[in-house]
Structure 1
Amino acid sequence: MKLLLLFGDTAVGKMTVGQELARITDLRLFHNHASIETVLEVFGYYHVRAVDRIREAVFEEFARTDEYGLIFTFMWAFDEPSNEEYVEWICSFFRKAHAEIYYVELIASQNERLKRNRSANRLEHKPSKRNVARSEKMLLSDDLAHRFVSNEGELTYENYLRIDNEHLSAAETARAIKERFMLS
């Protein structure tokens, strides 16, 4: 079993790269908005506990299967110690299953992310982002409030890859991940 954590700033392309990676490998994709959008539709607001419980159920049950592996996308605020704890919490389900864990960080400039924030694929799969003005305001606000890009040498995981995907397509980025970690 494998767990591939795909993280980066808002609109960096996590879901889109995850979709491509799932297409060219036997990994399954669980992007962070799969749980967020469900909770927003049911509760009408971001209910943290509900999102976490959905994710916990998926992680726990998936780790018990014979599936090849799971891609999970999320934002990691490196200035928030609780985010590292959250990553360890996710990994704990898969460590029990003796999974190989891969960490892939995507980075791109704010200007590029603002362009990607309006992409058809993003808007199709993330209804909460369809109010583009509000989504852009949140992107800019998040950039001011937190650090979503790791510092050089901050992440020392054995299976860690940092990709500047500003000028790469999702397919190119997915192929680079597949080749680096020899995923099937």
Structure 2
Amino acid sequence: MDVIVIFGPPAVGKMTVGMALAEQTGYRLFHNHMTLELVNNFFEFEDPEFWPLVRQIREQLFAAIKHSDMKGLIYTFVWALDEEKDRQSLEKYCAAMGVSVENVLFVELTADTYTRLNRNKTELRLAEKKSKNNLEKSEANLLDFDNKHQMNSADDFIYPNHIKIDNSDLSPQQTAEKIALHFELPRK
């Protein structure tokens, strides 16, 4: 099974690129807000129950995927590259799927802040990610992540199968096409 991890800063387009890539390849998409929004129906992000529940649900889902006949999975992840716990979480998720992190296909998206602030307000993003509907809070969170964390690599990415794409001026379909060509992914 191919495992593709799309990562990058908030509102860079991980979910929409993942949707386009899933459409092109037939792979399943698991965008990180699928679990965040589920748990957020019961707990706030700051509640002590929130993150342990999110991790537990993800790990159980990944463990079930391990035993499926799924050909490929696309997973989106907001990865603070300067946070060891984020890398450890990702490695744990891969282990739950029975996949070595060295065999994961990593897609790093980057876009300028202006583009990301505009994408933060799109209809699809707000429909899929209810927790982003408070635009003032969402925008502040986006800028806070940029100020506090390393959200993109500086050509020092630690895993071998990696492509970095500035998708500021690309459509999700164009970005997905670049990914599919780079990794020679099967087409639907």
Q: TM-score, normalised by structure 1?
A: 0.94
40-49 vs 58-67, greater mean Cα deviation: 40-49
Query: Deviating runs (4+, > 2 A) in structure 1?
Result: 42-46, 93-100
CA distance in 1 between counterparts of 2:100 and 2:166 reads 31
Question: Given residue 36 of structure 1, which amino acid in structure 2 is its aligned partner?
Answer: L
CA distance in 2 between counterparts of 1:98 and 1:113 reads 28
Per the alignment, residue 4 of structure 1 pairs with 4
Structure 2: tracts of 5 or more residues without a match: none
Task: Check the 8 A contact 2:91/2:101 in 1, yes or no.
Answer: no
Per the alignment, residue 93 of structure 2 pairs with 90
Task: Check the 8 A contact 2:11/2:117 in 1, yes or no.
Answer: yes
1:67 and 2:82 are equivalent in the alignment: no
Per the alignment, residue 23 of structure 2 pairs with 23
Task: Check the 8 A contact 1:3/1:94 in 2, yes or no.
Answer: no
CA distance in 1 between counterparts of 2:110 and 2:35 reads 23
Task: Check the 8 A contact 1:39/1:51 in 2, yes or no.
Answer: yes
In structure 2, which of residues 153, 165, 168 is the aligned counterpart of residue 166 of structure 1?
168
Q: Deviations 1:15-40 (Å, cap 9, x if unpaired)?
A: 00001111111210000000000000
How far residue 157 of structure 1 moved from its aligned partner, in angstroms, is 2.5
How far residue 156 of structure 1 moved from its aligned partner, in angstroms, is 4.0
How far residue 99 of structure 1 moved from its aligned partner, in angstroms, is 9.8
Question: Given residue 21 of structure 2, which amino acid in structure 1 is its aligned partner?
Answer: L
- Structure 2 CA distance for partners of 1:181 and 1:96, relative to 1, 3 Å: closer
Q: TM-score, normalised by structure 2?
A: 0.92
Identical amino acids, percent of aligned pairs: 40
**How many residues of Structure 1 are paired with residues of Structure 2 in the alignment?**
183
- Secondary structure at the residue paired with 2:95? helix
1:135-174 to 2 correspondences below 5 Å = 135-152=138-155, 154-174=156-176
Per the alignment, residue 126 of structure 1 pairs with 129
- Secondary structure at the residue paired with 2:121? coil
1:34-113 to 2 correspondences below 5 Å = 34-45=34-45, 47-96=50-99, 100-113=103-116
How far residue 158 of structure 1 moved from its aligned partner, in angstroms, is 2.5
Task: Check the 8 A contact 2:45/2:51 in 1, yes or no.
Answer: no
CA distance in 2 between counterparts of 1:73 and 1:34 reads 10
How far residue 141 of structure 1 moved from its aligned partner, in angstroms, is 1.2
